[in-house]
Every structure is written in structure tokens, then in C-alpha cells.
Amino acid sequence: MKNIYFGKIYALDEILSLKEKICLCEQQIKFLNPILQKTTAVEEDFANLTLKVTFFHGSRFVRTLCFSSYRAAQLFSSKPEQQQALSEIFGKTDSLGNIVLTAGAEGLSEALIRNASWFIRSSDTLEQGDFMILPNEWRAIDGRGMALFERFGKIDHAYRQVFLIMLALAYYDALHQISEELAAMLVEPINVEELDKLYTEAAVFNARYYFDNPVEFSRYALFQAWQDVREAYHLREKNAEVTSQLAQVHQILSYTQQKKEQTANEERNLKLAVFGITLSILGIVEVIDIVSNWLS
């Protein structure tokens, strides 16, 4: 094992410009769903495993994430030593996810697992049994990040999986924003027009940008990696929860609005009917008065 990379994923406010071709590992990205590929912007420094990505261009739920990494020449001997060294590099800013990568790993040594556990979980809870043993790598993923140790000398595949983690975080954060906006709207008085707008925007986002499997099946290794990432971040459940909440609230409020409109129409029709009857009665009274005058 030549190097071990410790990396953090952060959210950025900037939005990267779209380009005709997007690259990863200094090669054109061809593994993404075509729509995502056209609405994703990438800036990378592959040599230093540094990456910026803007997802969902054209959507109000656009997200830009940055992966910044530090290459250590050797493993740390203790948690305090690691924390002190890496805090000087990354600072104390909270990250969305922590990543530990290495290439040329000979196996799952206790020292390697401990270093990953200290960085990702800030504890010793990560164990050998948490790792999936794959032909070319050992991989452990949870909601706090990923530890991925490549058996061979190339880091390309691991770097692509970092990209998938960033996509999962972008999905989750966008869905969380929709859920929070819905909760904020459920106050009195409820603005039905704003709710209807959110419902439409969320439906468009889901149809245009959210894909259960955004990776082309022909790239089977990455396709399988995405399935593991999706499961670790519970994206299916989160998406189903948010869309179900929106649909239910929208249906209830639409029904309530229809009932209000129906009641208002019935009241208006009743008033018109009473008014018509009143006019009719007044008309009859006037005729009687005229006839009485004739006879007198």
C-alpha cells in the first residue's frame, strides 16, 4: 500500500458551468443516465483526488458538492494523532461524509480498519465484518461515509465511487429540502397555491432528475456499487416517503378546496334562487296592484 487518502465531502454555494463533456479520472463520463449526464457539471484534479460537482442543473434543487482529500504516506498510530493532523488540514468544518481510500491494499489489517473507523465514525466501531469482500476491493458504506480499499495499484474505481456517494448526498439533500418546505407550509392559513407549486416542482424533479439506478447497467461494477450506495443512504425509502407525503397532502387540500368551492357555488345559487323568487313575488304583487287600480 503506497498511500492512503482521507477525504471530506462539503456543500458549496457556487454552481459550476455546464460543459459539453464531463470527465472523471481524466476520462469522459459515460456511465451516467443521459439526462443526468447533461445536467451535471464537474471540475476535478484527479492527481490530488479533488472533485467539485454540480448536480441537477436547471432545477431549483440544484446541488454543488466538493470532495477534498489528503494523501498520507502512512497510517496514524492513534486516534488523537490522526485527529490533530487532519484537523490542521481540513479545519473543523462539519462535512456531509468522510471517505477513506487506498490502492494496493494487501488485506484488511487492524491498523487500516482502525484508521478508517477513527476518521469516518470518530470511534472504533467499524469492524472487519462491516466490509463487503469484492473481487478487486473491500468496501464499507454507511450514512457517515465510505472506506474503500483497492487490491491493486489504481485508484480510478474508488474515485468513481466517491462520485456516487456525492450523487447520493445530493439526492438526499434535495429530497430533504422538499420535505422541510412541505412541513413549513402545513401551517394556518395554508397557502394552497404555494403547495401546488411545490407539488409540481417536486414531481418534475422526481421525473427528470431522480433515478433509482442512474448508472448504466453496462457498467456493471459501478452499477452494483450504486446499489450499495443507494441502500446505505436509504434513497428509495426517502423518495417514497417524500412523494407520498406530498401526494397525500395535495390530495387532501385539493379535496378541501373543491368542497369550499362547491359550498360557495351552492350558497351563490341559493342566493340567486331566493333573489329570483323575490323578484317573481314582487312582479306578481305589482300586477295585482295594477289590476286593482283598473277595477276601482
Can you tell me whether residue 95 is helix, strand or coil? coil
Helices assigned H by DSSP within 91-136: 110-121
In a domain, 108, yes or no: yes
Residue 162 domain flag: no
* Nearest in space to 161 (alpha carbons), one of 217, 224, 78: 224
Residue 19 lies in a domain: yes
- The span from the CA of 170 to the CA of 41, in Å, is 13
pLDDT higher for 283 or 214?
214
Query: Rounded to an integer, what distance in angstroms lies between the CA atom of residue 180 and that of residue 198?
Result: 11
Residue-wise pLDDT for 104-115, tens only, equals 888 899 999 999
260 domain residue, yes or no:
no
Phi (first) and psi of residue 266, to 5 degrees: -65, -40
64 within domain boundaries: yes
Query: Could you give the CA distance from residue 216 to residue 261 in angstroms, rounded to a whole number?
Result: 48
Q: In what order do the strands lie in the sheet with 41-45?
A: 41-45, 50-55, 63-72, 4-12, 97-102, 145-150, 137-142, 132-133
- The total of structural domains in the chain comes to 1
Q: Is residue 83 part of a domain?
A: yes
95 within 8 A of 8, measured Cβ to Cβ? yes
**Confidence grade of residue 196 (pLDDT, cut at 50, 70, 90):** confident
Question: What is the span of the domain harbouring residue 57?
Answer: 4-155
Single pTM value for the model: 0.83
In a domain, 182, yes or no: no
Per-residue model confidence as pLDDT tens digits over 159-170: 999 999 999 999
- Does residue 68 belong to any structural domain of this protein? yes
291 or 155, greater pLDDT: 155
Q: Is the dihedral of CA 270, 275, 280, 282 positive or negative?
A: positive
DSSP at 204? H
Residue 275 has pLDDT above 50, yes or no: no
